[in-house]
């Protein structure tokens, strides 16, 4: 009877009357693997923030301007083939915003977690921002809108995307950012997008 009471006090019973065993070594190993699977990548060797801006400046005689800023980042992922992941930016300090004259007409933060799908459809190397496929794959809307005041009007858009490919034994991921501003206006239009110093894949 004494042994039975000791057993009950010493541990909780499951429905079958047997105390479950916890393998702390396996739990520790699982946590370590989760940490190892989170890898950091940076846009440049200096690990400095990248904040991209496009500016539309009024031009006579019709005061119409349309400007683009296209950016392409290629990141070496190493020898392991990438898998479906979650991307989180590192070191973002500013909200992404669009300004018309002195007024901010749009502000937006990136999602904390962005799904990344590694599929056959986006297995392609984009050679430059003038490549036809740049526009095709920079197709995920981040922010877009238009505003009008009497006869003046403006539009803005920001699209992003990503691709991946293998070359010389290594795998690479490309991040595409396509910004546009357009207006009939006496006031300039500015769009800025902060993508931080890099990103984490997990």
18 domain residue, yes or no:
no
Tens of pLDDT, residues 18-31: 334 444 444 333 34
152 domain residue, yes or no:
yes
The vertex-107 CA angle with 106 and 112, nearest 5°, equals 145
**How far is Cα 122 from Cα 131, in angstroms, rounded to an integer?**
15
Q: What pLDDT shows up at residue 115?
A: 97
21 domain residue, yes or no:
no
29 domain residue, yes or no:
no
| Structural domain containing residue 124 | 40-201
Q: What pLDDT shows up at residue 61?
A: 83
Q: What pLDDT shows up at residue 53?
A: 98
Place of tokens 């403006």: 154
Instruction: Give Cβ neighbours of residue 125 (< 8 Å, ≥ 6 apart).
Output: 163, 165, 167, 172, 174
23 domain residue, yes or no:
no
161 domain residue, yes or no:
yes
Q: Give how many domains the chain has, as a whole number.
A: 1
Q: What pLDDT shows up at residue 62?
A: 82
Q: Which parts of the chain sit beneath pLDDT 70?
A: 1-36
* CB atoms near residue 140 (< 10 Å): 13
184 domain residue, yes or no:
yes
Helix (H, G, I), strand (E, B) or coil at 37: coil
Residue 193 CA, chain-centre distance (Å), reads 11
């Amino acid at each position: 009877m004494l042994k039975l009471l000791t057993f009950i006090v010493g541990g909780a019973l499951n429905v079958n009357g047997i105390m479950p065993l916890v393998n702390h070594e396996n739990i520790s190993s699982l946590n370590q693997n989760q940490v190892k699977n989170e890898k950091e990548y940076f846009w440049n060797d200096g690990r400095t923030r990248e904040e991209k801006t496009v500016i539309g400046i009024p031009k006579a005689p019709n005061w119409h301007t349309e400007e683009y800023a296209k950016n392409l980042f290629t990141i070496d992922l190493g020898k392991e083939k990438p898998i479906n992941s979650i991307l989180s930016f590192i070191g973002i300090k500013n909200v992404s915003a669009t300004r018309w004259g002195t007024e901010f007409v749009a502000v937006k933060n990136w999602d904390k977690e962005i799904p990344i799908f590694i599929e056959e459809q986006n297995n392609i190397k984009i050679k430059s921002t003038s490549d036809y496929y740049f526009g095709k794959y920079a197709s995920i809307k981040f922010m877009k809108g238009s505003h009008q005041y009497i006869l003046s009007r403006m539009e803005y858009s920001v699209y992003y995307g990503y691709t991946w490919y293998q070359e010389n034994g290594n795998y690479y991921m490309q991040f595409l950012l396509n910004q546009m501003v357009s207006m009939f206006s006496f006031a300039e239009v500015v769009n800025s997008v902060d993508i931080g110093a890099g990103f984490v894949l997990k």
